[in-house]
Amino acid sequence: MGLICGIVGLPNVGKSTLFNALTQAKAAIANYPFTTIDPNVGVVEVPDERLQTLARIIKPQKLTPTTIKFLDIAGLVRNAHKGEGLGNQFLSHIRDVDLIVEVVRSFEDSNVVHVNGSVDPLRDIEILNLELAFADLDYLARQISRKKKDPSADKKELEVLEKIKAGIESGRPLLRKDLNAEELRLMAAHPILTLKPILYLLNADEEKIPDQLAGYSPILAINAKLELEISFLSPEERKEFTGAEGCGLDRLIKKCYELLGLITFFTVKGDETRAWTILKGTRAPQAAGKVHTDMERGFICAEVIAFEELAGLGSMQKAREKGLLRTEGRDYVIQDGDVVQFKFNV
């Protein structure tokens, strides 16, 4: 998928530490604002125990997980929409992402300066959200003014832009769920920040959400510094350290995946078993196109078995013997966990 999660926050809240933990990349970490100017880009494996189960059943030579992309965007400061700090540059990077991960500091450390002088996660969330809202108001005002002067402009599109602007001005920005399918289609080309899904991520010593943040959802709490240390352990050591619940990074990645409306299907072809990412609601031919464009163009049918059924049987051969491989046509909507073999002719 081309979908991207953008990691944003005020300076010195642990964004680059989190990014390094996610990617084990070498993004710069420093105790002053604007260490990160160009966004770091990282491709991260999506944790999925089902792929390991399939590996035990099928024993492929190659196992390929699906991935999700993260951007580490430089620190946003108060009045960024007016150009404070490197504001406009940062905001342009945020416009390119599909989901915003707002990292907020909740840890005390006298060695790490806070750009606002004290640790106050509620205040920092409000600053970030206000900057996104102000940036949208500026964008919307320009778009509305331009379209009002254009006799050929789509009147319905103009109405939706005005509706979104009015929501922000009233202090109640509209969410994607507040717009119908036609309104969302009209807004698809507009990089409106307040319409993007937001995951609030508390960088804290303890994985506990303060009562004052109860109104912000979805929200996760992790210790980014600890997660960075865990990320350098071997898979066996990591599992022993984190236990059955897994690490905070796994929860973060899965939550991003969920908020983007993504699901996973699996293919078993030759020596490779592979996980693929698609949007929920994708039909079989379009899912086949993820594997190869020829498969979508020449789609005939899909042989499908649910992961749970295959795992229960323990082999693909038994699934065939019991007649549990279903043949699905062009209208079949791929389900999360489907194990699929596409048949096509070009």
The DSSP element (H or E) to which 306 belongs, if any, is strand 299-306
Judged by DSSP in three states, 345 sits in coil
pLDDT value, residue 330:
97
Quick: pLDDT tens for 269-285.
889 999 999 999 999 99
pLDDT value, residue 27:
42
Token pair 């792929």: residue: 51
C-beta neighbour count of 190 within 10 angstroms: 16
Closest to 230 measured CA to CA, from 48, 24, 49 = 24
Beta strand 62-64 with 272-279 is parallel
* pLDDT over 60 at 231, yes or no: yes
Fold for the domain defined by 281-344: Ubiquitin-like (UB roll) (3.10.20)
Closest to 340 measured CA to CA, from 293, 294, 291, 298 = 291
C-beta neighbour count of 31 within 10 angstroms: 11
Residue pair 69/5 in contact by the 8 Å Cβ criterion: yes
Q: What does 185-231 look like in DSSP terms, one character per residue?
A: HHHTTS--GGGS-EEEEEE-SSS---GGGTTS-SEEEE-HHHHHHHH
pLDDT value, residue 203:
94
pTM: 0.85
pLDDT value, residue 26:
41
pLDDT value, residue 88:
59
The DSSP element (H or E) to which 288 belongs, if any, is helix 284-291
326-328 sheet: strands from edge to edge? 62-64, 272-279, 262-269, 338-344, 299-306, 326-328
* pLDDT over 90 at 64, yes or no: yes
Quick: pLDDT tens for 14-60.
888 999 898 874 444 444 443 444 558 888 888 899 999 999 999 99
* pLDDT over 70 at 79, yes or no: no
pLDDT value, residue 187:
95
Closest to 241 measured CA to CA, from 255, 227, 220 = 227
Beta strand 262-269 with 272-279 is antiparallel
Question: Which amino acid, 334?
Answer: I
Closest to 113 measured CA to CA, from 13, 238, 247, 214 = 13
Q: Is 172 exposed, middle or buried (0-12, 13-18, 19+ CB in 10 A)?
A: exposed
Q: Taking residues 282-290, what's their average pLDDT?
A: 97
pLDDT value, residue 93:
81
* pLDDT over 80 at 190, yes or no: yes
Question: Which amino acid, 292?
Answer: H
